[in-house]
Amino acid sequence: ALMIYSALLPLGIGALYASLVGQWGLTGLAYALAGLACGVVGVVPSVMVGLFPAQIRVSGISFTYNVAYALWASTTPLALIALMPWSPWVCVGFCLIMGLVGVVTALYYGRREPLTFAAEPGIALCADK
């Protein structure tokens, strides 16, 4: 799912951008494609759960998410604004790069052995009566 949504992201955003600047007449279809591509947001938490062992999962996810958010949220707007005079399509290029990062991540972690979701295998969740 991560690979599919990551590949759809630049296509959806590119189609939406093209329709908004008047280069493509199917704005409704572009909005639908961009909305579908935003489904990658729902896949990321399930991928992150499998990256950390259960004993450190909450700390690992929170630290990774917050550091990544702090770095990208502070630099991306400034970088995109600085690059806009070079090309008005720089935002679509950014989405293309993020889509490629998602595809590479899906390929890399798709080969990896999945981690268990429980801290100890074989834990009984309810007692048999």
Every domain of the chain and the residues it spans: 2-110
- 79: pLDDT confidence band, cut at 50, 70 and 90? very high
| pLDDT on residue 13 | 84
- Are 17 and 92 spatial neighbours (Cβ–Cβ below 8 Å)? yes
Helix axes 2-20, 40-49, angle to 10 degrees: 150
CA nearest neighbour of 12 among 77, 101, 24, 84: 24
Residue 16 CB neighbour total at 10 angstroms? 22
Residue 55 CB neighbour total at 10 angstroms? 10
Higher pLDDT among residues 94 and 40, named by residue: 94
Q: What is the DSSP-derived secondary structure letter of residue 113? A: P
